[in-house]
Amino acid sequence: MDSQRKIVTASPENSETPLETVASWVTPNRLFFVRNHFVVPPGDRAHWELSLEGRVARQKRWTFEALAAMPQHSVFATVECAGNGRSFLREKAAGVQWGAGAIGHAEWTGVRLRDLLEPAGLAASALEVVFEGADQGTEPDHPTPMYFSRSLPLAKALDPDTLIALRMNGDWLDGNHGAPMRLFVPGWYGVASVKWLRRIRVIDHAYPGYFQTKKYSIERITSSGRRQLPLGPGIVKSEILQPAPNASVGVGTNRIAGIAWAGEERVSRVDVSTDGGRSWHAAHLKGLQQTYSWCHWESLWTVDSPGDFSLMARAHTESGQTQPFEYDASNLGYLINVIVPRVVHVTSQEQAPAAFADDRSWADAMLAFSEENRRHSLDVELAFTGGEGI
């Protein structure tokens, strides 16, 4: 059977990338996880307009066609939902009970946000930029309807890699991933990348939006005491993809493989333990290691007697960030990078010895993908029929 997204809630769709069957560097769009708070709004390219207002000298409006005709920029980046892995927490936290799959990696293409903001003339008082989607609804603690919206600090909004994305892996965005356009904020949790983007507003104060004060915020000690702050950049994390939870493997040499990522940073090392955290050894990092993107890793494990084993992976960054053994409760059910032991059973059956996958072919596959995408003409003549939708 074809692999499919793993549905967590059907309506609105919240679904996971089937990580155990999608081991490629780039996640195919149809398998890429979906996090929707409200019903997907109609994403009609022919009639879509994006507006810019607030603390700018000149208000602006763009059609989809106008943005598609501007210079395009591409960024490879991993997107993780801030609640990814919530179902593994020992103390249950409210929210969608995600397994490990609220994550994916894609090439995002569109217009640099700063190419829209700078020509509009930012006021000296500009502090944050608010992004509003076309989807709306209510939450149990917010019974009046609201549009999904969130803000970015000005510096991240002006970062050359922050995009208004029109394409994902070379194809126009599909409905679930924000068609016809979304904000794309590489290195930050998915919540920052507002889908079905319709309105941009430059403001001179801290935005008190629901999705960064009531939800998607974390507790931190600041100069003015303990405060709840909007969550933003991703933190370092890894996931074991192989062997699967509770898998049975034979004695001999087995392959342990997985992924690791670190928000705006680069993964520098992944350590693996096969004895419940008593001893660790460095895994082999494969292919490209770059900021924003997950990297694959693997390790060979020779085991000569049967039994139950507890496998762990622990990723590190160049700046010394690493994964904790205990969940930090001040993260309020988000930023879940605690090490989750993976129990596997070793049987007395002899295992055909595993070997490292070929490094060269991995790098080649990544580069071929990127080349292929660049062959798509990004400034094609757009001929849309009214109501074509997504």
Residues that bind ligand MTE (CB under 6 A): 32-37, 79, 81, 133, 135, 148, 176-178, 190-191, 193-196
Cβ proximity to Mo ion: between 309 and 327 the closer is 327
Min dist CB 313 to ligand MTE, Å, is 23
Q: Which residues 190-229 are close enough to bind Mo ion by CB under 5 A?
A: 190-191
Min dist CB 189 to ligand MTE, Å, is 7
Min dist CB 96 to Mo ion, Å, is 8
Cβ proximity to ligand MTE: between 196 and 297 the closer is 196
Min dist CB 310 to Mo ion, Å, is 29
Torsion of CA 152, 171, 297, 5, to 10 degrees: 90
Number of CB atoms found within 10 A of residue 1's CB: 3
Element (H, E) at 286: strand 284-286
**Residue appearing with tokens 């909007």:** 230
5 binds Mo ion (CB under 5 A): no
Give which of ligand MTE, Mo ion, none residue 170 binds (C-beta under 5 to 8 Å, depending on kind): none
Cβ proximity to ligand MTE: between 69 and 159 the closer is 159
Min dist CB 230 to Mo ion, Å, is 13
Rounded Cα distance between 251 and 333, Å, is 38
Backbone angles phi, psi at 60, to 5 degrees: -140, 160
Strand order in the sheet with 142-153: 60-63, 49-54, 197-203, 128-139, 142-153
Element (H, E) at 149: strand 142-153
**Residue appearing with tokens 């709840």:** 228
Give which of ligand MTE, Mo ion, none residue 201 binds (C-beta under 5 to 8 Å, depending on kind): none
Cβ proximity to Mo ion: between 84 and 299 the closer is 84
Cβ proximity to ligand MTE: between 141 and 326 the closer is 141
Rounded Cα distance between 332 and 288, Å, is 33
Cβ proximity to ligand MTE: between 176 and 273 the closer is 176
Residue in the shown chain whose Cβ atom is closest to Mo ion: 81
Collapsing DSSP to helix, strand or coil, 261 comes out as: strand
Backbone angles phi, psi at 191, to 5 degrees: -55, -25
Give which of Mo ion, ligand MTE, none residue 297 binds (C-beta under 5 to 8 Å, depending on kind): none
35 binds Mo ion (CB under 5 A): yes
